[in-house]
Amino acid sequence: MEYVYVDNFTFQRSQFYIDQIERLIKLSNNVDKVQAWAPPIVSFFSGEVVQRNDEVQPLHSAIHIFALDYGQDKHILRKYFVENYENVSQWVALLYFYFRTVNGYPILANELLGNGLLNILDTLSKNPSLNFKNKFCFTRAYSQILSYAIGVKNDSIIKICLEKINQDHYYLSEENYIELMQIRSFNSNKNHKNYRPAIDFLKEKILEKSLVDNTSIINTIYLEDKQFFLQNFKILKKRIYEDVQRGCTDNSIRSLIGNLVSDSFSYLVQEILYEINYSDENFNFVKNHSFIVANATNLSFYDNGIRSDFRDQYIIYKRLIGSQNLRLGSYTSLAFDDVEVAEDIDYKRYHVADHELSDFIIDTINCYRINEISYQNFETFTFLPIDTHPVQACLVLNKKIVPPLINISFDDKKVYKKIKKVLCFLTRNSQTYDKEIEFFSSLELVYEIKIITDPDKNNFIKSLNDMDYDILYISAHGEYEHFTSRKEEIVFWSEDNEESYRISTKEINEKINKKKDKKILILNICDGANCGLSYLVSERGVANKFAIKGHIVLSYLWPVEPKYAVVFGCLVLYELRNKEINHAYFDVLSLMNTTNEHIYQELVSDEKTQIWADLVLNFSGFISESHLYSSAIYT
C-alpha cells in the first residue's frame, strides 16, 4: 500500500499502535458512553499516550496511519493487520461510529478516507485464506463508514460502501444475516434490489424477538411502513425499552423521536418515553403538554391543535451550542457540523458558567422561540434533546411569565393535597448549615419538619422509603462526571469529615420506591439538574432520577455558589406554603433579579426569612447571570 511520502516525521514503534487498537476495542466492550472512547483514538493519531478524556485535545491530521509504510518497524504492524484482520476491521468500525455519533475529529475522519483506509480494508478482505464467514467483519466496517459518508455527503465513498454491503454473502449465522439485512436497509440503498427484501425480513424478525439494534430497525421500518408501525406499536415500544436496558446509544432514538414529532405523533413519543421509565405500568396520556425539538431542521409546534412552523431552526440551535461551549467551558459537538468551542478547554472548570452569559441567554431565547411560542398555555413541556439550557429562567426573567414544568417522567400525577410535612437532609460540611437549622426551626408552625444530618447511604434510602413527606429538601454536595456514563452523586460527610457518604443515581433508580402521590424536591446540589445532552430525557442526572420516582424537582443546571442555592431553595420552600412550585419559583427568581439592597429589604420584612438578609447584603457576587439562569424544574 503506497501513500504520499512522509518526510521528517517520527512514528512510534508498532506495538504502540497495536496497543491503542486493542485498547479501543476493550473500552467499547466495557464503557457504554461513546465519548469515553476518545483517549485510545487520540493516542493512536497523536502518537502520545492519553489516559483520560480531560487530557484530550483536538486532532488535525491522520499522519500516523502511515506507520504502516514508514514506521521504524512497519513489518510488525503490517503483520498484525493481516493476522488480526477482525480486530482491525472492528477498530475501523468503532472509529467511524465514534466520528459519526459525537462528531469527533472531522478533519481526521475525512483524511483517513482520503489516505487509503478503504484500500487497507479492501486489501485485507482479499486475503485468499479467508472464507465468507470471516469476511463479514469487513461488511460491518463498511456499514459504519457508509453511515459517516452519508452524513458528510461524500458520494464517492457512499458508492464504494454500497457496492461492498451488497456483495453476495454465504454461510452466515442467523445473527450475522440479520445484521446484514439491517445494513442493507439503509435509506441510501433504496434503489438496490436488496433493499425491499431486507425491510420485509426485518419486519418479520422484530416481531419475533429482540434484535441487536431494535430502535434503528424500527425507525427504518417506520419510514417505509407507518401502518405496520402503528399496528404493532405495543410490541415495538417494548423492543425500544429492551434497547435502552442494554445501553442503547442515543442516536437511534433521536432519529425515531424526531420523525414521530415531525409527523404529529407526539402522543406516541410520550408513550415510548414512559415505557422507558416504567416499562410495565399503564400509561395515561399527559395533557396540556408540548414537545420542542430544538435541533430540528425546521421547528414545528402545536398550540391548541394549531401548527406553527419556524424555519432555519438548526442554524439557530447550532449557534446556541457554540455559545454554550464558550460560556459553560464545555465541548459539545454536532454530528457532521462545526460549532464554536474555546481554543483551550480548562477541564478543572468544565461546564462551570461564566458570571456573564448574555449571548448564551439570547441564543437560548431565540432557539426555543421564547418570544414567539405561548409557553404559558402549557402545564408541562419537554425539549429534545434535553440539555443544560435555561429555558424556564429565560421565561421568568426575560418574558415575565410563570414557566411550565419540564416533563421528564410523563407521569400525569399532580400535587393535590395541602403541603404539611417537610423532610430535610443537610450536611455539616457547609457554610450555611447553622442558618439552615435555624431557618427550619422558625418554620415549625408552618410545616411539620424532620431534619436528618449527613445520613449514610442506608439511612438516606430507608428514610425516603419509610417516611411520609410532602416536600423533600436536600442540601449537600453534588458531583457530576461529564466523561463517565451515569456517574452522578449526592455527597454527605461523616461528622469528622473523614468519610464521604455517596448516593448515586443508580441507587436512586434501583432502591428508592416510586411515590404514589407527587412530592416536591428542592435539590440544593451542584449540577443536580444537569442531564447531559440526550433524547433519553431521564437517562442521566440526579433530578431526573427523582422525577421518575414521583417528585417535582427544583435544582441547578451547573455548579453554583452554595450560599445562593441555599437562599434560593429555602425561599422557594417558604413560598410553597400557599403556592404551586412554578409560581413560587417565578416569585423568588423575580425577586433575585433585582438588587442586593432590595432583596435585603424584602427578607427583613418577614421574620421567617430575615435570617438570610445579611448573607445576601454582604455577598457581592450573589446576583449574577450564572446564578439567576442556573435553575430548572423537572417533573
Q: How far is CA 561 from CA 355, 490, 525, in A?
A: 11, 16, 10
What is the C-alpha separation between 404 and 379, in angstroms, rounded? Answer: 5
What is the C-alpha separation between 77 and 189, in angstroms, rounded? Answer: 35
User: pLDDT digits over 196-242, tens only?
Assistant: 999 999 999 999 999 988 999 999 999 999 999 999 999 999 999 99
What is the C-alpha separation between 72 and 14, in angstroms, rounded? Answer: 8
Mean pLDDT of 342-355: 81
Q: Are 286 and 410 in contact (CB under 8 A)?
A: yes
pTM for the predicted model, two decimal places: 0.89
Alpha helices in 248-301 (DSSP H): 250-262, 266-278
The confidence score (pLDDT) of residue 104 equals 73
User: pLDDT digits over 491-526, tens only?
Assistant: 999 888 788 899 999 999 999 999 989 999 999 999
Mean pLDDT of 439-447: 94
Check whether the bond before 390 is cis (ω within 30° of 0).
Answer: no
Instruction: Tell how far CA 599 is from the center of its chain.
Output: 36
The confidence score (pLDDT) of residue 2 equals 37
Length of the chain in residues, anyone?
Answer: 635
Alpha helices in 185-249 (DSSP H): 195-208, 214-224, 226-231, 233-245
Cell numbers representing residue 606 in the block: 418577614
The confidence score (pLDDT) of residue 61 equals 83
pLDDT at 390 over 50: yes
Question: What order do you get walking across the sheet with 471-475 strand by strand?
Answer: 289-293, 380-384, 405-406, 631-634, 551-556, 519-524, 471-475, 421-426, 448-453
Contacts of 122 (CB under 8 A, 6+ apart): none
User: pLDDT digits over 264-276, tens only?
Assistant: 899 999 999 999 9
pLDDT at 7 over 60: no
Contacts of 11 (CB under 8 A, 6+ apart): 47, 64, 66, 67, 70, 71, 72
Report the SS3 class of residue 251: helix
Residue 305 Rama label (left phi>0; alpha psi -120 to 50; beta): left
What is the residue whose three cell numbers read 485485507? Answer: 124
Q: Could you give the domains of the chain?
A: 14-224 (no CATH), 421-634 (3.40.50.1460)
What is the C-alpha separation between 353 and 28, in angstroms, rounded? Answer: 31
DSSP letters of 336-389? Answer: TB-----SS--GGGTT---S--HHHHHHHHHHTTTTTS-GGG-SEEEEESB-S-
HEC secondary structure over 536-592 = CCCCCCHHHHHHCCCEEEEEECCCCCHHHHHHHHHHHHHHCCCCCHHHHHHHHHHHH
The confidence score (pLDDT) of residue 545 equals 97
User: pLDDT digits over 39-83, tens only?
Assistant: 999 999 999 998 877 677 767 788 899 889 888 899 999 999 999
Cell numbers representing residue 1 in the block: 500500500
23 membership: H or E segment, kind and range: helix 14-30
* Short-list 67, 62, 45, CA closest to 107: 62
The confidence score (pLDDT) of residue 5 equals 45
CA dihedral 601, 606, 608, 611 (to 10 degrees): 20
What's the mean per-residue pLDDT of the chain?
A: 91
- Rounded percentage of the chain residues whose pLDDT exceeds 90: 70
The confidence score (pLDDT) of residue 484 equals 66
More confident residue, 486 or 533: 533
The confidence score (pLDDT) of residue 59 equals 75
pLDDT at 588 over 80: yes
In angstroms, what is the C-alpha Rg of the chain?
27
Q: Specify the amino acid at residue 585.
A: Y
The confidence score (pLDDT) of residue 217 equals 94
HEC secondary structure over 457-521 = HHHHHHHHHHCCCCEEEEECEEEECCCCCCCEEEEEECCCCCCEEEEEHHHHHHHCCCCCCCEEE
Q: Are 411 and 548 in contact (CB under 8 A)?
A: yes
Report the SS3 class of residue 631: strand
Q: Which pLDDT band, with edges at 50, 70 and 90, does 132 fall under?
A: confident
